[in-house]
Amino acid sequence: MNVKSPQTLISEASKEIKTITAEEALKLTDEKKCNLIDLREEGELNNNGSIENSTHIPRGLLEFSLNQNSPLVQNKIIDINKEMVLFCAAGGRSALAAKTLNDMGFKNVSHIDGGFNVMTQKGFKIKK
């Protein structure tokens, strides 16, 4: 049996998705041109804080949370017409999630290279 490693999946996904820098994401966020989505688990937020103006959707709930009938979409917490900018701790989960959103039919999706670990050094405000 030939099972792909997580790194192989991330590498394959990275060829099909848009990757942006933390600086580019900060500009989009400041200009209110995107949905900034934090894919990290609750424990990671509790331990490290969250990014101001981001929406927390754990990776395991992403597909369900961005369904057109979900409360996040229905209550306009997430504007599905804006770019979806995804991040996790370091970029692996967000790369896989970006590919999934592309597969779902979302057209304007990107993920932040280096994730939260880089964002904290590039001007994003942290809420503890």
Domain presence at residue 11? yes
* Percent of the chain surpassing pLDDT 90: 98
- Reported pTM: 0.95
Residue 61 lies in a domain: yes
Residue 84: give the domain boundaries: 6-127
Any domain includes 1: no
What average pLDDT score do residues 9-23 get?
97
CB 123 within 8 A of CB 106: no
Q: What is the pLDDT of residues 88-117, one digit of tens each?
A: 999 999 999 999 999 999 999 999 999 999
pLDDT of residue 128: 85
- Domain of residue 13, CATH code: 3.40.250.10
Q: Does the residue 79 lie in any domain? A: yes
CB 19 within 8 A of CB 111: yes
The three-class DSSP label of residue 127 is strand
- Cα separation, 22 vs 79, in Å, equals 21
Count of domains forming the chain = 1
Complete DSSP assignment for 67-111: STTSHHHHTTSS-TTSEEEEE-SSSHHHHHHHHHHHHHT-SSEEE
Residue 75 lies in a domain: yes
Is 123 domain-assigned?
Answer: yes
Q: What secondary structure does DSSP assign to 53-79, as a single string?
A: T-EE--GGGHHHHTSTTSHHHHTTSS-
